[in-house]
Amino acid sequence: MFWFFATILVFAALRVITARNPVHAALFLVLAFCTSAGIWIQLEAEFLGIALILVYVGAVMVLFLFVVMMLDINLTRLREGFWSYLPVGAVVAVLLILEMMVYLIQPYFGLVEAPRPDAAVAGYSNTKELGRLIYTDYVYPFELAAVILLVAIVAAIALTLRHRKHGKYIDPAAQINVRREDRVRIVSMPSVKKETPKDGDPS
Amino acid sequence: MLDSLLAYPQELLGPWWPSVSSVVWTLVKILIIVVPLMLCVAYLTLWERKLIGFMQIRIGPNRTTFFGISWLAGFAQPIADGLKLLVKEIIVPTGSNKFLFVLAPIMAIMPALAAWAVVPFSPELVLSNIDASLLYLLAMTSLGVYGVIIAGWASNSKYAFLGALRSAAQIVSYEIAMGFALVGVLMAAQSLNLGEIVKAQQGSAGLFSWFWIPLFPLFMTYVISGVAETNRAPFDVAEGESEIVAGFHVEYSGMTFAVFFLAEYANMILISMLTAILFLGGWLSPFPASWGVLGASSFGWLILKAFIVVSTFIWFRATFPRYRYDQIMRLGWKVFIPVTLVWIVILGAWMQTSLWIWWK
């Protein structure tokens, strides 16, 4: 099963950078997220796996696609710099692979000697354990991260928020508070009898 | 009988028998859920047309019938509709992205059906009793938007694209309110497992021990966000006929259109089923246990509750005019999210005091 997911993951990740169409690239990224969530669930990290789908696939990538679809992207201009950027990209990729190899293969970090974790006992809830850890042992780092994210959100909104001078925005409260008497005047008047039309008169 | 039938494949497959039989058995279980679901979807369309007919003092579909039996008039309508859609030509527009065009309806119906894997029908009857089922549901309902987006983009049509953009923004916004409503439920039930959530609502007070009382604002938010998530009226701007013809599925015909339709109605049934499970006590009976059959908790109660919620959805459609788009966004972001956030804080404080009586 691992090889199944891993093959799809590597294929999708490669297509993200080689796909001609940006929308296709974004969709391949979605596929890559889904398969890596599958790998996580296989590692019995079901909370993280589902959270990955929920956050990245369900929200972030939707907005990504949203933007990519609306942009008028000039494909030839986009591909112009491919060869000039290739060496830099290759160096970064090789460095990343080396770092991962150092971490995984070298005995310095003790990863190889680390014992394989026991299989989860029945009734063990991944989510509950994670929640307990976050809100007890790691509560300060967690809250700190939350505040930093909040600041980022407020900053992003504050930077882009503009009030248009002559916008047509209507305050909903004002709309609801409108009373009939402000808009319509009911006039009482006696009914008027219509004169009978003459022959040949279309009205 | 069954043993003798199974003996032959057992011999044939030898050591692979356990894995093969588990796969086949799971497939059979999936079919047992999906086939009645599809029938429910078919007859939900009929019920919708009939109910809206009654509300507008019309009769609704009354022509098609089985074998000419007069009192069944109208009951063959879903079958007739299905057959018509099945034999219609599927037109793939020129300039569309063919692969994605066909993929979109599949992406729409896949999460709508996959979510049913964790829905419990009774204390024992559930396809996959996983611990994180509430999270799984949230993830699956959030995937439904891909069908709409891909359909809108792959059609290479402006109306479809506008519909897809509207729908994407709407679903992403209402998902947050929906997620917060579920946070309230999991706080009150102390579990992410849907079966456990229903069990936590069991109490001596009958229907007053269900979560709709302590979580009333979240209950309302969940129902209304559910209507918005499924793109139903009055939040159906994604397919607003008067503005963008039919929205994201304007270019679809025949079976591809039918699959979108199936996905929408399957989602409707799913949301109402979840409302029944999360807030209305699932299979628990509203009457005291001394009432015999009426007091016993059973599958029938769950179906009845889901049916009432789904009928309310149809009632909404017959009653309310369509929202304006900026009003939809305002309702989602400026009303529902603050309401749910405040209620989660209140709930957290409430649960620490002795006034909280919804414990088992």
- Tell me which residue in A50, A65, A69 faces B139 most closely, judged by beta carbons: A50
Q: Which of B194, B35, B176, B170 is nearest to B118 (CA)?
A: B194
Over the stretch A9-60, which tens digit does the pLDDT of each residue have?
A: 888 888 887 777 788 888 888 889 989 988 888 887 788 888 888 888 888 8
Chain B, nearest residue to A67 by Cα? B165
Task: Specify the residue for token string 């369900």.
Answer: A58
Neighbours of A52 (CB within 10 A): 20
Distance CA B143, CA B109 (A): 10
Specify the pLDDT at position A144. 94
pLDDT at A146: 92
Total-model pTM: 0.82
Place of tokens 């709409």: B148
Please report, in angstroms and rounded to a whole number, the separation of the first and last CA atoms in chain A: 82
**pLDDT of amino acid B360:** 47
Report yes or no: B252 at the A interface, CB cutoff 8 Å. no
Query: Of B114, B164, B170, B103, which Cα lies nearest the Cα of B140?
Result: B114
Among B186, B192, B333, the strongest candidate for a mutation testing the A interface, having the largest count of A CBs within 10 A, is B192
How far is CA B359 from each of CA B123, B198, B205, B329, B352, rounded to the nearest angstrom? 19, 12, 12, 36, 12
Q: Can you spell out the DSSP letters for B145-212?
A: HHHHHHHHHHTT-HHHHHHHHHHHHHHHHHHHHHHHHHHHHHHHHT-S-HHHHHHHT--TTGGGGSTT
State both tokens at B151: 């359909």
User: What does each of the 360 residues of chain B score in pLDDT, given as a tens digit?
Assistant: 666 777 776 777 777 777 787 888 888 888 888 888 888 898 898 999 889 998 988 888 888 877 777 777 778 888 888 888 888 888 888 877 888 888 888 888 898 888 888 888 877 777 777 777 888 888 888 888 888 888 888 888 888 888 888 888 888 888 888 889 888 888 888 888 888 888 888 877 777 778 888 888 899 999 999 888 888 878 887 776 667 777 778 788 888 888 888 888 999 999 999 998 888 887 887 777 777 777 777 788 888 889 999 999 999 988 888 888 878 888 888 889 999 999 999 988 888 887 777 664
Burial of A130 (0-12, 13-18, 19+ CB in 10 A): middle
Q: Which of B130, B169, B175 sits opposite A58 (nearest CB)?
A: B175
Least confident among A51-55, A98-102, A115-119, A187-191:
A115-119
B79 token code pair: 């079958």
Q: What percent of chain A has pLDDT over 90?
A: 10
Nearest-Cα residue of chain B relative to residue A172: B327
CA-based nearest residue to B267, from B134, B109, B149: B109
pLDDT digits (tens, 9 = 90+) for B338-351: 999 999 999 888 88
- Are B171 and B138 in contact, with CB atoms under 8 Å apart? no
Q: How far is CA B77 from the centre of its chain?
A: 22
Question: Which amino acid is located at B50 in the chain?
Answer: K
- From chain A, the residues in CB contact with B161 under 8 A are 69
Output the CA torsion sign for B191, B196, B201, B202.
negative
Quick one: closest CA in B to A168, which residue? B326
CB of A54 within 8 Å of a chain B CB? The answer is: yes
Distance (Å, whole) CA B330 – CA A166: 20
Rounded to 5 degrees, φ, ψ at B280 are: -110, 25
Residue to mutate among B107, B131, B183, B229, with most A CBs inside 10 A, is B131
**Who has greater pLDDT, A125 or B259?**
B259
Residue B116 contacts residue B125 (beta carbons within 8 Å):
no
Question: Which of A1-10, A124-133, A183-192 shows the lowest per-residue confidence on average (mean pLDDT)?
Answer: A124-133
- Interface check for A19 against chain B (CB to CB < 8 A): the answer is no
Q: What is the DSSP string of A89-135?
A: HHHHHHHHHHHHHHHHH-GGG-TTTSPPPPPPPTT--HHHHHHHHHH
How confident is the prediction for chain A on average, in pLDDT? 81
Q: Which fold has domain A1-78?
A: Four Helix Bundle (Hemerythrin (Met), subunit A) (1.20.120)
